Structure 1
Amino acid sequence: MTATPERTLLQTIELLAEAAPEEGFSLREIFDRLDESAFGAGLFLLALPCCIPFLYGVPQVVALPMLALAFQMVIGREEPWLPAKLAARKIDRKGLTQMAQGGRKWFGWIEAIIRPRLSFITGRNSERVIGLFLFIFSASILVPLPMTNTVPGMAVAITAFGLMQKDGLAVMGGIVLGTFWVGALITGAFLGLNIITQISTALLGS
């Protein structure tokens, strides 16, 4: 008798979208249906909407829960937990369908190449450091500028996927991408502030 192959996370998300009622599911219902007790799966799922350009509304729903999970990693909590108010946030069926399609489009290739390696990076002792990076990347999603959620969302998703599959190389790739983005964001903010200061000085001096 042939064993039934275990479903991947992306396949589970696709089935979740198909089964969703029009009003969708709350984050608590989604987490329960995923039946995952690892931070990687939760963060990957929450990061998916942020990776999809022009998907409005959903990134704002998931940003604070992402921060909550990343912070729990930093303080060394063993299993993810969401406060009732955040867990009650809903993603409707349309949003879940877009997440499933986006997940397959942007991360389907990762399933073919990801594998356990560089295990010292994904070990328990490293999770707090990884959580700190994920917290910073998740916080940058809240910056109120167009298209500022896509790159950090990708960084969180890749890092979380690598964490879930014990692939240290994927974790490092996600951290490098996110660090580059945050650095660019900070540099842009300083340059913008400098330009505004120079213009203000010129106007006041004239």
Structure 2
Amino acid sequence: MKDETSNALSEILEELEASVSGESIAVEDVVERMGESSFASLMLVFSLISTSPASAIPGITAIVAVIVFILTVQMIAGRDHVWLPPFVMRRRMARDKVCKGIAWIRKPVSWVEKFLRPRFTWLLKKPWILVLQFLILGLTLVMPFMEIVPTSGSLASAVIALASAGLLTRDGALILIAGVLLLIVPAVLFFVGTGG
């Protein structure tokens, strides 16, 4: 995928839409379309799906959490190609909900990417990038439990989408924002979930 163009995020949505056929789409179809080395692209795609109305698909927040966790671990380990377990790869999502989600997210993505550009790129290098990656891991560990709090899973996924967009466009400013949110969002959701 092109990761430094001004419309990189819209291109990814177009690739996702092109991968949809039949009554449903499998995770494996998305991986094949995005490319087995496109870790950040895949992270963005699945987090956006979980942010959009497609999050109404039962269990989608938990599945996205598993996918993002595995992708992040592999990024930290420096793998060249994506590996996901068979039970995740076989998971299917309803075509109409995915397409509705893509249509819903397209306009805000198109607006946001106008402001993204390579800057503060030192944040994409170690050790700084590891901080972001471990914060993402921490969030994915609590995401499966967020389905009991309405919209909380979508909020968590939106933060991961921001981090992924920062990686794809090499925008360190966005990565900084995502990092702060990755620290704040779990605490806020815990506070709300416990009725504090």
- TM-score, normalised by the number of residues in structure 2: 0.81
- When residues 183 and 19 of structure 1 are mapped into structure 2, their CA distance, relative to the original with a 3 A threshold, is closer
Q: Which residue of 2 aligns with 1:38?
A: 38
Q: Secondary structure at the match of 2:152?
A: coil
Identity %: 21
Partner residue, 2:112: 110
Q: Is the 8 A contact 1:155 1:177 kept in 2?
A: yes
Q: Give the Å deviation of 1:149.
A: 0.8
Relative to structure 1, the CA distance from residue 128 to residue 15 in structure 2 (aligned partners, 3 Å threshold; closer, same or farther) is closer
Take 2:29 and 2:110, find their aligned partners in 1: how far apart are those partners? Answer: 24
SS of the residue corresponding to residue 56 of structure 2 reads coil
Letter in 1 for 2:129: E
When residues 149 and 94 of structure 1 are mapped into structure 2, their CA distance, relative to the original with a 3 A threshold, is same
**Alignment match, 2:61:** 59
Other-structure match for 2:187: 183
Following superposition, the deviation at residue 114 of structure 1 comes to 0.6
Q: Name the residue aligned to 2:155.
A: 151
What is residue 140 of structure 1 aligned with on the other side?
Answer: 142
Q: Mark the CA change 1:11 to 1:22 in structure 2 (over 3 Å): closer, same or farther.
A: same
Alignment match, 1:82: 84
Aligned residues: 188
Structure 1 pair 131–80 and aligned structure 2 pair: CA distance change class (3 A): farther
Asked whether the 8 Å contact 1:24–1:90 carries over to 2, the reply is yes
CA distance in 2, matches of 1:150, 1:123: 28
Contact 1:14-1:97 within 8 A present in 2 as well: no
Aligned-partner Cα distance in 2 for 1:34–1:96? 16
Q: Which AA in structure 1 matches 2:169? A: Q
What residue in structure 2 maps to residue 203 of structure 1?
none
CA-to-aligned-CA distance 1:69-119 (integer Å, 9 cap, x gap): 122234443443211221121222113212312331332222211111101
TM-score norm. by structure 1 comes to 0.78
Between the aligned partners of 2:12 and 2:95, the Cα distance in structure 1 is 15
Greater mean alpha carbon deviation, residues 149-158 or residues 130-139: 130-139
- Determine whether 1:21 maps to 2:25: no
Gaps of 5+ in 1: 193-206
CA contact (8 A) 2:72 2:137 kept: yes
Identify if the C-alpha distance between structure 1 residues 102 and 42 changes in structure 2 by more than 3 Å, giving closer, same or farther.
same
Deviation at 1:163? 0.6
Q: 2:17, 2:136 → 1: CA distance?
A: 26
- Root-mean-square deviation (CA, aligned residues, Å) is 2.6
Instruction: Quote the offset at 1:120 in angstroms.
Output: 0.9
Structure 2: gaps (5+ residues): none
- Residue 117 of structure 1 aligns to a residue in which SS? coil
Q: Is the 8 A contact 1:76 1:128 kept in 2?
A: no
SS in 2 for 1:91: strand
Instruction: Decide which structure has the larger Cα Rg and report it.
Output: 1
